[in-house]
């Protein structure tokens, strides 16, 4: 399968390299030429536009930041949609609104192109080691066609159902992570007020029923300041997207949203 990859950042870059090293003919495009420099030692080809990349690819992987970035890349005279070939697949690895993927599927469907949503979790180090988690939504046949490519950088690859279900699952995960950050930092602060060392509390809880990935992420820091600079904007985006989904469905997010809002406020990114 010929693969095109757009979005060569801290996570997408290692993903693309794994695809290339896996032996798949790969074409790259980037908005910033500097992002292509690390691939000078590979067999990857460089496209002059998203349209040129699409014309050369059977699977196009998008790993850009958000909804606006996806729209920018697919649209226009030299955008992705202009170069699509019938039978190809677009995999949206970005964490975006499920409706963004559905709208893209409608636009690509006229060219007999499939769209699957395939957000990822784990970060650049996990991608480099081939152990990202990929959450996939979309047509089962299209997913299976793409699975060998995904498996160069991911284990496991989980097919969750129809188009949009991957994004919804990723947003739920990130909502829960944000909420867990809020409860974890609050518990550490309370421990200090009650005369218990936050570090010793973390040591105990890490081996007990109260453990969480969020607690370990702030272990030894005791605040969300450092994490806010790294992930505050992204978590803010993802919580807002999930709230929109819940409102459209008439669903109540409840306590998990309250805790997530508290964490966002502590990170100076209130919803």
| Three-state DSSP state, 101 | helix
Q: Which of the following is catalytic: 170, 192, 233, 237?
A: 170
- The answer to whether the beta carbons of residues 22 and 78 sit under 8 Å apart is no
Positive or negative, the CA dihedral 193, 176, 67, 154 is: positive
Rounded distance between C-alpha atoms, residue 132 and residue 151, angstroms: 9
Contact 26, 16 (CB under 8 A): yes
- Kindly report the number of other CB atoms within 10 A of residue 48's CB atom: 9
Distance CA 238, CA 76 (A): 27
Residue 230: Cβ-neighbour burial (10 angstroms; 0-12, 13-18, 19+): exposed
- 233 classed as catalytic: no
By annotation, the residues acting in catalysis are 170
């Amino acid at each position: 399968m010929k693969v095109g990859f757009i979005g060569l950042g801290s996570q997408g870059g290692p993903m693309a390299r794994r695809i290339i090293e896996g032996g798949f003919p790969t074409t790259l495009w980037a908005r910033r030429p500097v992002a292509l420099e690390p691939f000078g030692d590979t067999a990857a080809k460089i496209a002059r536009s998203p349209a040129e990349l699409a014309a050369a690819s059977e699977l196009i992987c998008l790993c850009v930041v958000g909804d606006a970035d996806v729209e920018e890349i697919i649209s226009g005279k030299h955008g992705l949609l202009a170069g699509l070939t019938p039978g190809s697949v677009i995999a949206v690895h970005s964490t975006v609104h499920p409706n963004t993927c559905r709208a893209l599927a409608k636009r690509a469907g006229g060219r007999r192109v499939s769209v699957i949503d395939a957000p990822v979790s784990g970060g650049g180090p996990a991608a480099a080691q081939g152990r990202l988690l990929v959450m996939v939504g979309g047509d089962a046949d299209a997913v299976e066609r793409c699975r060998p490519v995904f498996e160069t950088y991911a284990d496991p690859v989980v097919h969750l159902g129809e188009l949009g279900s991957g994004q919804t699952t990723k947003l739920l995960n990130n909502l829960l992570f944000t909420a867990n950050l809020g409860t974890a930092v609050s518990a550490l602060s309370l421990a200090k007020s009650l005369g218990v060392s936050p570090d010793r509390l973390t040591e105990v809880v890490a081996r007990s029923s109260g453990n969480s990935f969020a607690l370990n992420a702030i272990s030894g820091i005791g605040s969300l300041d450092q994490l806010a600079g790294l992930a505050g904007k992204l978590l803010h985006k993802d919580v807002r997207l999930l709230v929109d989904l819940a409102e459209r469905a008439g669903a109540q997010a409840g306590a998990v949203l309250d805790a997530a809002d508290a964490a966002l406020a502590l990170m100076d990114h209130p919803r």
